[in-house]
Structure 1
Amino acid sequence: MTSAKQPIIEIDRVDKRYRSRKAESVHALRDVSLSIEDGEFVSIVGPSGCGKSTLLKIINGLERHSGGVLRFRTGAEDPRQAMGMVFQQPLLLPWRTILDNVLLPRDLGGRRGRDADVERAKTLLRTLRLGDFMDRHPKELSGGMQQRVGIARALMHDPPILLMDEPFGALDAMTRDQMSLELLQIWERDRKTVVFVTHSISEAVLLSDRVVVMSSRPGRIVSVVEVGLPRPRSLADINTERFGDYVREIRDTLDSEHELTTT
């Protein structure tokens, strides 16, 4: 996706180093630069331990970067107020109902106007096909349903940016496909900026405008693949030759990078 306007997220030569529990220096990210446009869906793929999740946490302010600059053009005084985060696990509080779990961020923030927030939470849960489960507790829901609650919670304050850290990784294949379709529907409707970390190349191609391919640690960007598949998309796209070409291009890049780091 190309645009003359300024990106909503600009990552400029970001570096990340930290100390391990054994006091060893770990170089997690090296010279990472990436610009993300407003309303763009960008996925990040790469080998385990390459810093994908670390980069997402740096964007969200959950971790500090060691070098480089991040710029945000969200209109919010604190960029984090413009972001919703969906983690690998839904991280629901077992003693709260599904509705109250979605309302947790507003309760922690001490927001006024609870009635309006309750209505928004209910609307989100209905959109995510959880309207009949608002008064249930997390243990009564399947893994896919719990992850839907996590997405609803992240969307509660209607953030322009949605950060997703392998949100479907723990789900079975059929549930994962269904969640991908639901996410596509949400994105098509709201056109939020999404940064999505995944280990699945097919998932990345199905969802994204661009797929960012990262190297082994220290993670750096080795390729950015523009996905030119028409939207709206469906699971039928996975069976097309063009889809397969994108998957092979990304896999070949990862394989080549792996060979370089092991020789």
Structure 2
Amino acid sequence: MTTTVMRFDHVVKKYGGSTLAIDDFDLEIGDGEFVSIVGPSGCGKSTLLKLVMGLEPLSGGAISYSADARSVSAMTGMVFQQPLLLPWHTVLDNVLVPSSLQSRAQRKADQGWARELIEMLGLEEFAASHPYQLSGGMQQRVGIARALLHDPRILLMDEPFGALDAMTRDQLTMDLLRIWETDRKTVLFITHSISEAVLLSDRVVVLTPRPGRIADTIDIDLPRPRTLATINTPEFGEHARRIRQVLDGTEAVTS
């Protein structure tokens, strides 16, 4: 049985004491599992990641981790909707930002790993470049490398490809699949894209409009490794249709 790495136990989030953003969110995520969360705008998807990171306090319930987990900051890496790179830093220095408060010896060790990550993401020719010299997709690759620098057990991703053009989005999706299949980190992925969620995930959690509650959790049993050609299979289409039906409210919610 897969070890549970993170558990949401009837999580509730209110703003201003009365605006209910998330209600009774109850979910276990296993070690090495890729879980995507989809739902309409304003349903609390990004808020869930803020709760995990401790950027927002819980209004009710709890978020817990496996007994052998490190601190939340040490065990999680975050990839944001925008790469949030420092314009005066090179690609290498941006990847090394999480290492800035470490010891000199650790910073030196991190430099080697940072260069490996840059090469893994196809940016080795741009290690000395600055963000303004990079395309949007390349900037987001830097953000992914930065999140992976301290080898987090859980990778949190908040619509990281949403602002990119379709071809770049497809390429980064395949890059992410390749990295995940190599390392099998636990991933909690927020997206508006049903196709993206089905292609990447082991499970897709569908949220209701605000307040965000779990409408359905759908197992994605498509074989791995997956490619862009997977999108054209009947099985892929069936999963995508089911998620769309839940989002549209045309299918009874299953327990």
Which TM bucket (shorter chain)?
over 0.9
- 1:77 CA drift (Å): 4.2
Partner of 1:229: 222
Partner of 1:119: 112
Q: Normalising by structure 2, what TM-score?
A: 0.95
Query: Does the alignment pair 1:51 with 2:41?
Result: no
Partner of 2:15: 18
- 1:97 CA drift (Å): 0.6
Partner of 1:238: 231
Which amino acid is 1:226 matched to? D
Partner of 2:159: 166
Partner of 1:212: 205
Deviations 1:154-212 (A, max 9, x none): 00000110000000000000000000000000000000000000000000000000000
- 1:65 CA drift (Å): 1.1
Partner of 1:71: 64
- Write the mapping of 1:85-234 to structure 2, written as runs, cut at 5 A: 85-107=78-100, 109-113=101-105, 114-234=107-227
Higher mean displacement: 5-14 or 91-100: 5-14
- 1:73 CA drift (Å): 1.2
- 1:110 CA drift (Å): 3.0
- 1:137 CA drift (Å): 0.3
Q: CA RMSD in A?
A: 1.7
Tell me if the contact between 1:215 and 1:257 (Cα under 8 Å) persists in the aligned partners.
no
CA distance in 2, matches of 1:182, 1:95: 26
Say which of 225, 229, 244 aligns to 1:251: 244
Tell me if the contact between 1:7 and 1:36 (Cα under 8 Å) persists in the aligned partners.
yes
Deviating beyond 4 angstroms after TM superposition, the runs of 4 or more aligned structure 1 residues are: none
Corresponding pairs, count: 252
Q: Normalising by structure 1, what TM-score?
A: 0.93
Structure 2 unaligned regions, length at least 5: none
Identity of aligned residues (%): 60
Structure 1 unaligned regions, length at least 5: none
CA distance in 2, matches of 1:157, 1:148: 16
